[in-house]
Structure 1
Amino acid sequence: MDIEVCAEGGYNVGWTNAGEWMEYTVNVVTSGMYKIDARVASGVNSSKKLHIELDGVNVSNTITVPYSGGWQSWTTVSVSTPVLATGVKVMRIVMETDGFNINKVVFTQLAAPVITSQPTVIAISDVAFLYAISASNLPTSYGATGLPAGLSIDTITGIISGIAAIGTYNVQLIAKNSLGIGTKALTITINPPVPVLSAASIIERKKDSLFTYAIIATNQPVHYAAAGLPVGLSVNETTGVITGVPTVAGTYTVTLSASNVSGTGTTQLVLAISEITGVPIDFVLMPNPVNPSTNGFLKASVSGWQGFADIEIVNVNGVLMQKGRVEIQNGIMLLDVYHLPAGAYVLRLKNGNTKLAKKFLVQYNK
């Protein structure tokens, strides 16, 4: 073996051969178990081996040196010792095979494991869960209590994996070695997946007709939106129900969305709003005369029209008495005339550019 300038600073030992060794005098000040960190490198694509002795006793077992990618590509391999007694000792580093370099060997006294991994984790219910317990002082086994159904822990590697149901779970992590046990609380939050929306690709409706449509989505949405709605329609952001009366004919591409804590899902809906075909060729008022004392509503039977109508009621002097927008359902339109005094009136009904008018009388019982 020989030394050379090390890329990490100082010098390293190289050109090792099987059976060679290096000896040092060391002083174990405190009795206990120790972690050995060997800084090694190998440019040979096969495993190499060494071990460490104190006063002729192998305290490391065989340390495997992996292929590191080059003679100056350094990596750390770690093992633990049994309990070492105090005192001055002869340390021997023994090369079991050739073909690797050594930069340094560091001894650190061990204690019970201290878990250092994150105390919270958030995942999605239909995605494979993976969480690794990290801990100092070379744990020899791991555990976890309070795991939800579907999750399990590899007690050797400390990896928790599986698929869990939606919810929040309080878990106790455990890491053990021969010196004691380390624990830490972990909160696992499993959220629903991003919402998936289902929608008819095209919906056809008439202008000036009452419109209702419910956005349907899976995975517990908490917020809804609809971008590109025609004038007259709006969406309830809590329920996802779109309602209103479209007032402008046309074809609209609407982007529907549903959101939860995991994200937002979208889909597109085409609304085809067409003009109302046909106009009211006639309408009949009944009863006529109408007596608000017994019936506060004047009924108009409209032929050839569904939806909404713009109406005006004027008296014989042309004074506007009532104006509004009234829905026609199954050819029937109801007008509240309870507030009108006795007299003659004209009802004007408008559909686009077409206007019709009918006279009616309001009479009260004497």
Structure 2
Amino acid sequence: MKKALQLLNSFKYGGAENVALNYSIILKKLEISSIFCAKNNSEKYINNLIENHFLYEENISNHLISQVDYIFIHSNLNLLKLLKYKILGKLKGKKVFYIQHLHYSEKKFVMLSLLINYICTDFIQITPITSKLVSKYIRIKKHFIINFYITKYKKESWKEIRNLIRKKEGILQDRIVVTFSAVFKPMKNLKNFIELADSMKNNSNYIFLLIGDGEQSSLIKEYKGGNIIWKGFVNDVEKYLIASDIYCFMSKKEMMPMALIEAINTERKIIAYKTDLNDFMLDNNTFEKITSDTLINIDSYIKEEYLTKYDQLYALNKLQKLFDEI
């Protein structure tokens, strides 16, 4: 069995770390095992690796590099660490993939591209919003693969999950549940979601479900309305999405949000602001403004069209093609 090395900054639950885990699950189905390498900042994340039968190391070494056929770089720090191995010829014969998780200014990307073009063999673009920069500065082989989410529950079980979660939270089955999930940072626009809930606090047909926590938690702590259920961080957001009717995606600046992909994969009705990325992901079913009217008349505003799911089937097809081209 061939081996892949997943290079991360640290073992924790975050965007790049979840992407690496999802990649490894799909690679395993393609008979490619994975070794993770990062600083240990989460025993829980490591336990997840162990449960999935993945190996892990805390430092890059000649021995580790020699074991693998493919290297996936998820952070710029590890791109720099690989520089000496490139110079010493240790990467010869290996496929080295750089996955760009963050959006950079052109000035920074120009400098970054020099390292990427020298060290890596392939570049994985995860979002359309970087297309101009990638086309202009990346000279190695390019692949367009949206970050994917592997759902835990089959569609046949959704009704039962919906009923269980609503019973647990004391939500009547006929209520319309509007959900928002994020780490509470300014760019996530938690304030907008709370203002939306406040505008509908006298409409008992709608319940607002808030999942997450973080530096802006004071905004929800100060809210006086009784129509928001705040769950904090939960281990299984997917269950709560299944129990919901509408997902609110309030961010306006994202590279490729996993929260939005999860909502698409669970076939929720999605309300999001009009941005280039959201238009791409939601087939232009987006809004300049999000108000109570948006929620109440959502069926007349959003076209009933199939959205591309970035799920296990998508991932298998994309990664199979990736390795077929090697």
User: Which of structures 1 and 2 has the bigger CA Rg?
Assistant: 1
User: TM-score, normalization: structure 2?
Assistant: 0.21
Larger RCO, structures 1/2 (Cα 8 Å, 6+ apart): 2
More helix by share: 2
